Amino acid sequence: MTFDISAVELPRLIQQNWRMLDVRAPIEVQQMGIPGAVNLPILNDEEREKVGTCYKQVGREAAMELGQKLVSGSLREQRIHAWCELLRAKENTIIFCYRGGLRSKITQAWCREAGVHRPRIEEGYKGLRATLLKATEDFVSLGRLVIIGGTTGAGKTDLLRALPSSKNYLDLELYADHKGSAFGKSLQPQPSQTTFENQLAWSLIKNLENDFSGLQFVEDESRLIGRIVQPDRFFLKLRESPLLFVDESLESRTEQILKDYVIEPLAGGSSSNQNELFASWFLRLQTATKNISKRLGGVRTQEILLDLDRARLAYELAESSFLDSNRIWIRKLLEWYYDPLYLDSLAKRNPKILFRGSHSEVLKVAQEMCLARPDK
C-alpha cells in the first residue's frame, strides 16, 4: 500500500482497528497524544530542537540537510528497522507526523526502500485532531448521555464497568488518570489536556460507530478531573442530562473508599519498595487533606490529620488495626466533606432523576437501557 489517507477517514480506521505509527518527537506525543499510537520518532527531542533552531535561523533547506545528517548511517538503519518491524507485524498500520509533511513522507519513503509499503495520514496529527474535535461536537449536538450519580463511594465507576460492553460508557476517570476527587490523584502524572480530549473523542467514535445520536453512560463528574478540564460543551451536556442515582449506606461507601484509596494503592508495591510506596501514599493524603482545609475548617482538618497519623503509626507497627484506623478518617471525610459538597451541588442543578436505588438496582436499570432499542 502506497496511497495516502485523509484524516477525515479516521472513524473508518478506528472501526477497522488500524494501528498508527507516530513519528513525531516524544515531547510532541506527551503534549498531544493519539490513543494507541506507537511512537517511533524520526527525530528525538534533542534532534528536533536542533533542526527547529536551524530552520528559524538559516531556513528550510539547511534544516532539511541537518536532519538528514543527524539521522544517517547506523542510526538511520536502526530507525528504519524498528519502523519496518512494526509495520510488518500488522498490515493495517498508518504513518503520521505533525502536519503530514516531511517527517512522515521521509519515513514512508525509507520504509518503501526497505520493501515495506504503508500509507500515511495526509494532514498528519493536525488533521486527526480536527476530526476528533468534530466527533465530540457531533455527539454533543446529536447524542444522549445518562449520568450515573450518587455520593462518593457508591461504586459508580464499578457500575459503569459492569455494563454489558465497554462501548456503552465513557470512562472519564480512566482517560484523565484520576479518580475525580480531592483524594483521587494517581501515582502517575495525568495526561495532557489535549491527550484527554483526544481520548474522549476516540472513545465516542469507537463506541458509537459514527452514530452520534447513540446513548452513552458516564459518571457524574465535576468540570475538573484533577487538573483535566472537561470540554465546555460536553460538560454542559453532562450537566443537563438525566441521572440514575446510586444510593448506598455510609458503611458500604466507607468500605468502597477503603478499597479505592487505601488497599488498592498500597497493593502495587514490592517488598523492596513498600515503605517508599507507603510514604508517598501517606504524603498525598496529608496534602489532599490540607488542600480542602478551608471547606473542612481548621478543627476538622486537624482531627483528620491526627487520624491519618494514627493510621501511619499502625502501619509502621504492623498492627492489625491499620484498616480500622483508616475507616475512621474515611467516614469523617465522607460526612464532613464529600456528602455535603455533592448533595448541595445536586440540589442546585436539580437534574431529572430517572431512577434511584441501590448499586445492584441501578445496574439492572442501566443494563436494560443498554439493551433496549433506541426508539423505545
Domain with residue 188: its CATH number is 3.40.50
If one counts the domains in the chain, the total is: 2
Let me know whether 153 and 97 are in one domain: no
pTM for the complete prediction? 0.91
Let me know whether 105 and 234 are in one domain: no
Predicted confidence at residue 181, as pLDDT, reads 74
Where helices occur in 8-101 by DSSP H, the ranges are 10-15, 26-31, 45-57, 60-70, 73-89
Place of cell 442515582: 245
Let me know whether 15 and 101 are in one domain: yes
Predicted confidence at residue 376, as pLDDT, reads 41
For residue 72, the enclosing domain spans 7-128
Active-site annotation holder among 54, 97, 111, 370: 97
For the chain of 376 residues, list the mean pLDDT of each consecutive stretch of 10. Answer: 86 96 97 97 95 92 90 95 97 94 93 96 97 97 97 95 95 90 76 98 94 95 94 97 97 94 80 82 91 94 95 89 95 96 94 97 96 62
Let me know whether 106 and 153 are in one domain: no
* Alpha carbon distances (Å) from 127 to 6, 34, 96, 97, 102: 8, 12, 10, 10, 15
- The answer to whether residue 97 is catalytic is yes
Let me know whether 256 and 206 are in one domain: yes
